[in-house]
């Protein structure tokens, strides 16, 4: 699992860079408008695209680190083997969900490409917004497959084992 955490680092760093850009760009736009009376055109278009990128570039890292939001109500009441089986089932269902979502995204993304719909201020083609979404989901599928392979090779950790490793 340590290797997968190392592979996940670039995704987190990329999302952090985009978030820093968003903060600096927003602050610059406010300063330019308020102090110099020179608004920057297209701030909303840029922020919209940056937010999409920030979210979906970070997504594969979440799967690689196996740090999805979980509620461990059952974990305290069932034996560790049942808990491990439930985690494995959940991971397989997650993989299925990601694949289904990816398939369902292709048509609307292609619609945006063919319709040539653009943003209001900067005329950015709306298909460009779909690129990080599809990229993020495709890499999340790969990441989930990597975690699944790791679990099948090394065993599925229970939530207690994961919590102990995180606290170390």
The structural domains of the chain, with segments of one domain joined by +, span 2-167
Q: Is the pLDDT of residue 168 over 60?
A: no
CB-based contact 43:25 (threshold 8 Å): yes
Residue 71, pLDDT score: 80
Calpha distance 149→87 (Å, rounded): 13
* pLDDT band with cut points at 50, 70 and 90 for residue 162: low
Q: What is the pLDDT of residues 3-57, one digit of tens each?
A: 999 999 999 999 999 999 999 999 999 999 999 999 999 999 999 999 999 999 9
pLDDT at residue 139 above 80? Answer: yes
Q: What is the pLDDT of residues 59-118, one digit of tens each?
A: 999 999 988 888 888 888 899 899 899 999 999 999 999 999 999 999 999 999 999 899
- Predicted TM-score of the model (pTM): 0.89
């Amino acid at each position: 699992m340590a290797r997968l955490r190392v592979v996940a680092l670039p995704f987190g760093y990329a999302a952090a860079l985009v978030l820093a850009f968003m903060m600096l760009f927003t602050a610059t736009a406010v300063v330019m408008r308020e102090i110099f009376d020179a608004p920057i055109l297209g701030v909303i278009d840029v922020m919209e695209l940056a937010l999409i990128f920030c979210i979906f570039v970070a997504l594969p890292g979440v799967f690689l680190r196996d740090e999805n939001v979980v509620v461990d109500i059952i974990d305290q009441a069932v034996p560790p083997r049942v808990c491990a089986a439930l985690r494995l089932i959940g991971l397989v269902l997650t993989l299925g969900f990601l694949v289904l979502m990816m398939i369902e995204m292709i048509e609307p993304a292609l619609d945006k490409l063919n319709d040539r719909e653009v943003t209001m201020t900067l005329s950015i083609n709306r298909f460009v917004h779909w690129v990080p979404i599809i990229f993020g989901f495709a890499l999340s599928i790969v990441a989930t497959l990597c975690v699944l392979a790791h679990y099948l090779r090394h065993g599925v950790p229970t939530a207690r084992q994961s919590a102990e490793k995180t606290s170390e």
